[in-house]
Structure 1
Amino acid sequence: MGRKSREKFARSRSPDDSFYEPIERGPVVDLIYWRNVKKTGVVFGGVMGILLSLAYISLISVVSYTSLALLTGTITFRVYKNIMQAVQKSQDGHPFKDILEMDTNLPQEKVHEATDVIVKQMNSTVTELKRLFLVEDLVDSVKFGCLLWCLTYLGAWFNGLTLVILAVVALFSLPKVYEQNQAQIDQYVGLVRTQVNDVMSKVKAALPIGNKEKAQ
């Protein structure tokens, strides 16, 4: 990837072009971008604590102990507030009244929208897998085969839970790193994509099967 490659990449993209489209702000986005450090730290620490616990304890035990700890905390707080109300002779009522009255029912419209998105994604995935396994495009199927071959080594090195832990760490770290170094990362990712596309174009041109299909 020399100077010519960089110049070619710079000419092929506009100054405002980016491989990452900005995401609308929301609670999840605020969490993974560490907008509120304390809130993100609590969520990240809690998720990692549960995942690391699952590495050594069964799922049932983790759920039971976590629920028991939560219940112990709420009962203790409820008893404490009742004692303080009796001592101070106040009428504050139930300490969790606001949470109990909060509407936690899932809106049907949102559930239907989420279901439609999931079904659409599943159909798209099945169609793509069918295309790859039945070799509609030889080069794409070969690339898919290389990916599966790499996954066999990945599976030999890590188990599923380890991959989930790594994914959570990446989710809470990579977006922030990219946000702070977007220009440099876009430049080098673009150079890699340009090189890969050039190589794949040469491979396609050299394959006799691909040439026959184009001729037909």
Structure 2
Amino acid sequence: MFPNRNYLEMEMSLSPEQIQKYTNAPPVVSPTIQSKSSGGFSSLRTQDSLAFCSTTWLLTYVGALFNGLTLLIMAVVSMFSLPVVYDKYQCS
């Protein structure tokens, strides 16, 4: 009756060796991003913490207004249109 019953009945578990392998893997995040994000979370540098808080606060409003796909489309359109506008209206 239920079409996915065999998937529900499958045994899904990780062996201790697999857990050890994945937990000891090197971090995927670059050290620069890691140091910036940890500086934003800690209150050691007030300026960095305020900048991090204001950026995340602003991003919550941007995320509420736009969909991720909409932001991607806007970025692609901007990549191709902004250089043309800059070349046309360049003050030199």
Give SS of 2:35's match: helix
Indicate if the aligned counterparts of 2:39 and 2:48 stay in contact, CA closer than 8 A: no
Aligned to 1:140: 48
Deviation at 1:159, TM superposition (A): 1.1
Aligned to 1:164: 72
Aligned to 2:83: 175
Q: Which has the higher contact order (CA 8 A, sep 6+)?
A: 1
Tell me, in whole angstroms, the C-alpha distance in 1 between the residues paired with 2:31 and 2:68. 25
Distance 1:137 1:158, change over 3 A: same
Q: After superposition, give the CA deviation of every residue in 1:16-57 in whole Å (9 maximum; x if it has no partner).
A: xxxxxxxxxxxxxxxxxxxxxxxxxxxxxxxxxxxxxxxxxx
Aligned to 1:127: 35
Distance 1:179 1:123, change over 3 A: farther
Identity of aligned residues (%): 43
Give SS of 1:173's match: helix
Indicate if the aligned counterparts of 2:40 and 2:52 stay in contact, CA closer than 8 A: yes
Aligned to 2:62: 154
Q: Spell out the pairing of 1:1-216 with structure 2 (5 A cutoff).
A: 122-183=30-91
How many aligned positions are there? 65
Scaled by the length of structure 1, the TM-score of the pair is 0.27
Q: After superposition, give the CA deviation of every residue in 1:103-154 in whole Å (9 maximum; x if it has no partner).
A: xxxxxxxxxxxxxxxx7x8221111111111133212211221111111111
Give SS of 1:172's match: helix
Distance 1:164 1:133, change over 3 A: same
Tell me, in whole angstroms, the C-alpha distance in 1 between the residues paired with 2:70 and 2:91. 31
Tell me, in whole angstroms, the C-alpha distance in 2 between the residues paired with 1:130 and 1:183. 41
